Structure 1
Amino acid sequence: MNYTENIERLKILLTGASTDVTITSENEAEYKRLKSELNQSAKFKTNQPKEFKICLTLQEFRREMQAKGGYAERRKYINELFYPLISDENSLLDSIEEIQQSVNFGHLNLLPQDIQQKGREMSEVYLYLYCIENSLRIFIEEIMKSQTINIPKKVQDTIDKLKRSEQESKYLPLRGNSDLFYCDFIELGKIIVGNWSIFGQYFPKQNEHWLNVMVDELYKIRCLVAHNSYVGKDERDALKVYYKSITAQLKI
């Protein structure tokens, strides 16, 4: 693993240990290994918080975090610990495993049971959308390293518009270090279709229609999530199929 991967895995381990995840002997062994490898990095040695230095085991770290409050407070505290360790790194820290460990509905117990259940189902929808969209970004970015990709004018106009808006809202975090982070499913699809002579070979039977249908369906679901609307079982099942298809097809 490289520095970024080790940092991501360490954060996952610590978040899990600080909430309701059972700590196994394998987890403890991985924690020690990660700390040993990361300590070879000057950046880690310089910026690591005191908790990493004094906690020799995940169990010790869990006890440290118990004084920080509930699960939400602990996750927030851990995020703050990692800020100096992940700055300037090209990292997608919200991986599937991390999101699954971070979702906690304990503070929603006052809500009706059906609302809690729908909330759990919608968190899963977001998880799949997030991973599919970023898989497409990573895929496009990898191809761009060896091929010249033309960005369609309408897509570039959208990117430029969002960048201008971002400059006017300084309090908001930057989307990412690539223009692709200013693109949603529709724009990403347009980039691929607009360069089909390059991307077509990676899709089923070089079928442009398959991609267009998938992107359109994903965008509709994305809009439902953006407006806090409920996504039904049929759409959720389709989303899982798209996730498996796209990751298998693009070898992600």
Structure 2
Amino acid sequence: MSFTYSLPFENEKLLDGILFELKRRKEYELSQLLRGSRISIEEGGYSYYAGGGRHNAHAAYVTLYVNPMNIDILEDDTTKKLLTSICDTLIPAEVGFDVKSVSFSIDLTKDYELEDDLIIDLEKQSDRISGKILAKILPQDVKEKGYYMSEIYTYLYAVENSLRLFIEDVFKTKYGEDYFEKVTVPSALKRTLEQRINDAESKKWLSVRGESKLFYLDFKDLGTLISNNWDVFKDAFPSQEFILSKINEMADCRNLIAHNSLVNETERNVIKTYYNVILKQISQFLDS
């Protein structure tokens, strides 16, 4: 068999494949540890002379450049063996690479926030708790569901804040910098907004939501704002039902997450679909 000795995709695509395969195998914790990492592949000599392999195939060595906070956790023989197997499976046979090992190195191209007192304290607390007790208060399925839910929250966070910034951009274009005094805001929502701002000012230890009043509004409040100012947004969306129904469904899912309830697979797929649909819709409007 003749080999190409060249990947048919960029290295980053291999990393995407690794993360996808880890999630498919429910290795959520490992996929989280590798998020944001980089990958390189070094081609070696003939695979046969490096521990055995296919005739004329070359040995390949994969290096993952990761957050320094994660490297000690990743430096595990079981983890390396799993990732080596996944890489070997994902690289097409006709390439002619037999993956011999996966190793980890610190990614020096990024600025990482190193350990702070909170992280150190958490590690100390974990050290004090016996494995038997830890298994009761933090069982594996809870950890896996936590990583699963964190991915869903990321989609919600992105689309919610993108929608806020979009609404602000549309209002500023229409009314100028002091737009909030000119848009239609229901009296009940005005009272809620004033209460949230007052609460934020009285609790200085909490992080500031932002200078814009829009950041004090909940997901469903954004839908209310669009609905009450539809003449401004009617060219951005096909209909009120199109955008409001999606906002309301995603807001319901957000409430589940906020109350530590599990979002099922169907709801997860709805969120991902709406995420793509809404961002595509508003980006097309801004480009037009």
For the residue of structure 1 that corresponds to 2:261, the secondary structure is coil
* 2:114 aligned with 1:77: yes
Deviations 1:166-201 (A, max 9, x none): 122111111111101001111111111111011011
What SS class does the counterpart of residue 146 from structure 1 fall into? helix
What's the CA shift for 1:211?
Answer: 2.0
Distance, in Å, in 2 between the alignment partners of 1:23 and 1:220 is 38
| Aligned: 1:212 with 2:249 | no
Using CA pairs below 8 Å that are at least 6 residues apart, which structure has the higher relative contact order? Answer: 1
Match of 1:160 among 167, 184, 194: 194
Q: Across the two proteins, how many residue pairs are aligned to each other?
A: 168
Counterpart among 138, 141, 148 of residue 114 in structure 1: 141
Give, in whole Å, the separation in 2 of the partners of 1:185 and 1:152: 16
How many Å apart are 1:75 and its aligned residue?
4.9
Unaligned residue ranges in structure 2 (runs of 5+): 1-32, 42-64, 75-110, 117-126, 128-133, 176-182
Q: Find the counterpart in structure 2 of residue 239 from structure 1.
A: 271
Instruction: State the alpha-carbon separation in 2 of the partners of residues 129 and 228 from structure 1.
Output: 15
Whose strand fraction is larger, Structure 1's or Structure 2's? 2
Identity %: 35
**What's the TM-score once normalised by structure 2's chain length?**
0.51
TM-fit CA distance, 1:218: 1.2
Larger Rg: 2
Alignment of 1:52-91 (within 5 A): 75-77=112-114
Look up the SS of the partner of 2:38 in the other structure: coil
Aligned-partner Cα distance in 2 for 1:145–1:239? 28
- 1:143 equivalent among 163, 170, 180: 170
State the SS of the aligned residue for 2:168.
Answer: helix
1:22 matches 2:56: no
Structure 1 segments unaligned to the other structure (5+ residues)? 1-18, 26-58, 80-106
RMSD between superposed Cα atoms in Å: 3.4
Which structure has greater helix proportion? Answer: 1
- Residue 131 of structure 1 aligns with an amino acid whose one-letter code is A
1:176 aligns with 2:210: yes
Pair 242,78 (structure 1): closer, same or farther in 2 beyond 3 Å: farther
SS in 1 for 2:234: helix
- Cα deviation per residue 1:110-130 (whole Å; 9 max; x = unaligned)? 543322221121001110110
Distance 1:159 1:120 in 2: 32
